[in-house]
Amino acid sequence: MASANKVYVVGGGVCPFRMPKSKDCLDYTEYARIACTKALEDAGLKYEDITVAVAAWNYGDTAAGHRALYEMGLTGIPIINTNVNCSAGSCGVFLGRSLLKAGICGDVCLVLGMEQMERGLSESKYTDRENPVGPQLKHVHELGSPTELIKPGMNQWTSDVCRMFAGAADEYAERHCAEDREKFCRYLADITVKNRAHGTQNPDACIRSATTREKVLRRPFCGSISEPMSVRVSNIHKLGGIAAGDSPVVILSHPPRGSSRVMRLAACAVFMVMLSCPILNSVIHLAIENWKFS
């Protein structure tokens, strides 16, 4: 099969975000089914049209992606899982696009992102080996980040990860806002205010109530070296990852199929970034062009 020069996003779907253990939570397989169905309807395609699928997730057993997509049918297509923390979904899009451009798995790829988490960040399930993020957390502590819990009842893993990201914010503030750190804190708070305002208009949002800069800044700080990031800022930015049902789906195609409303995925790259913390994080750059509406 010839390789694809251009790959298009031809459909998308998402199910409502929910907090873990809330009364209206569903199983991850049901969230995946809902989101996949919406994406297929948006694209004007059937699951039988999908030639390869990529499932992105972090908290679940091996082959969870296969189990979730079996709800859509047993068509014998290749199903590939990606599991790389916050960049799992981005890597899934990168992988799906690469498969289509290589011309080795047909011409329509479904990319599913799903998550069903416990309250807080789940502790490592394997206690007979070092956590993969262990060296980064150790270095953050060596730089001066406190080791005690941010607040009672929070597990150590959640507390350490919040402080790791707070440390990155602290470093950014030192480099770019050293003369006015209070202004930097206000900027972070304003991002949370903006996100919460968007949530009031989004029926799929986990939190649909507005907030103010003053409320955000009143919350305890995460306890980084210079404490530039409040708990409320940290929490609101990661609620999508905490959601018990987080299942965005995109369908990639070459050439465009189904819906007349398509978007060209003009560029997509994944590379590794080493911050001085050091924090390893896969970063995705998506350059989008050529919106076409019917």
End-to-end CA distance of the chain: 30
CB 40: neighbour CB atoms within 10 A? 22
With beta carbons less than 8 A apart as the criterion, state whether 45 and 108 touch. yes
CB 126: neighbour CB atoms within 10 A? 8
Delineate the domains of the chain, giving CATH numbers in brackets: 8-117+243-292 (3.40.47.10), 134-238 (no CATH)
Interval 36-50: pLDDT, tens: 999 999 899 999 999
Interval 112-153: pLDDT, tens: 998 887 766 667 778 888 888 888 888 888 888 888 887 777
Identity at 177, one-letter amino acid code: C
Distances (CA, A) of 172 to 129, 160, 163, 178, 274: 32, 19, 14, 9, 14
- The rounded distance, in Å, linking the Cα atoms of 16 and 290 is 28
Helices (H), the chain: 28-43, 64-70, 88-102, 134-142, 156-176, 181-200, 213-218, 231-242
CB 150: neighbour CB atoms within 10 A? 19
- The rounded distance, in Å, linking the Cα atoms of 79 and 70 is 10
Contacts of 92 (CB under 8 A, 6+ apart): 54, 55, 56, 82, 111, 112, 113
Interval 233-288: pLDDT, tens: 554 333 322 233 345 667 777 767 766 677 777 776 655 443 333 333 332 233 33
Structure token digits, residue 118: 């416990």
Interval 67-101: pLDDT, tens: 999 999 999 999 999 988 878 888 898 899 999 98
